[in-house]
Structure 1
Amino acid sequence: MAWRSNKPRPCPLQDFHSIGLQECDVVNLTQAMNICGFWRLDIDQGHLYGTPHVSKLYELDHSEGPLNVKDLCDRMHPQDVDQVMDSYYRAATSRGVFHSIHRIITTSGTLKYIRTVGLYHPVEGGSGEYRGMLHELFQLEPTASFIEL
């Protein structure tokens, strides 16, 4: 079920400063409707670091330092683990952009869909790192808005 894309989609960074927004505004807006976790993958060390919301999305206890990748994989749907690990490997070797969607089995036994996006960032004297974010995808429900004129 895991889905991935390693094809870059040219998307220039929007000039949010021109409309009076700052970086912190963009992060706050990103997190306003979804729990967003942010992560960093050190390619040379093979360590994955994440914010507390990464652990929250995977329903794991958070601790400082590198995340335990085995614990993350244990939460993933078994059919998705190889695909997700392959996505990280391909990204680390290609230095491109990547996007992956996979399933997590929650502690209550239900499925949760997670989207992760990563961008390569060069690091002086090293192989570089990936910086990214992930969030839960929610099942879309039909809605309607009515405005009285």
Structure 2
Amino acid sequence: MDGAKMIGLTDRDIVEMFTLFSPLAYWRVDLDTGHVYGCEDFSRLFGLPHSDRPIDMIALASRIHPQDLVSVMEIFEAASTRPMSYQDVFQATADGRTYRYICAMGRFRAKPEGSGEIVGMTYEVPPHRYTHKARAEDV
């Protein structure tokens, strides 16, 4: 973000621009209890009912594509056992029919007491389409 600050962009400008098209869904994992908490956008992203209570991990796991679930759980376990940061892209569904690519980023955060927590954000990756066009030059 140093480059952005050099040209006069603030952290708020960057977050606001990013969230114009794709809401950022924030979440937190308490490593002592294993409970996962998410904001309303997190619940909406996975088609889960929102509450202030811990997220139902069985329901969340059922929204992740079976081909991606093992790798998602492996990186989650790794981040839970040692301080690290990660980024993972996987397929998930909110409606049980249509899968979209989701990006999750998380990092370990120490707490004064206990094992710490993992905090992160998740968002839907915009669809990418590349169309190559070429035209022969007359020589």
Shorter chain as normaliser: what TM range? 0.7 to 0.9
- The alignment yields a C-alpha RMSD, in angstroms, of 2.1
Q: Please tell me the residue identity of whatever aligns with 1:30.
A: F
TM-score by length of 2: 0.82
Q: Which runs of 5+ in 2 are unaligned?
A: 132-139
Structure 1: 5+ residue stretches without partners: 1-12, 144-149
Distance 1:108 1:123 in 2: 36
Q: How does 1:1-149 map to 2 (within 5 A)?
A: 14=2, 19=8, 21=10, 23-107=11-95, 109-142=97-130
CA positional deviation for 1:107: 1.7
C-alpha displacement at 1:34, in angstroms? 0.9
* Deviation per residue, 1:52-101 (Å, 9 max, x gap): 11111101221112111111111111122221111111011121111111
Using the aligned pairs only, state the percent identity. Answer: 29
Whether the 8 Å contact between 2:106 and 2:118 is mirrored in structure 1 is: yes
Change (3 A) 1:20 1:78: closer
Report the alpha carbon displacement of residue 131 of structure 1 after superposing the two structures with TM: 0.9
Helix, strand or coil for the counterpart of 1:138? coil
The total of aligned residue pairs comes to 131
Which letter does structure 1 place at the counterpart of 2:25? Answer: G
Other structure's SS at 1:115 match:
strand
Distance 1:124 1:16 in 2: 33
CA distance in 2, matches of 1:20, 1:78: 40
User: In the superposition, relative to structure 1, how do residues 102 and 124 fare at CA in structure 2: closer, same or farther (>3 Å)?
Assistant: same
Larger Rg: 2
Q: What is the aligned partner in structure 2 of residue 7 from structure 1?
A: none
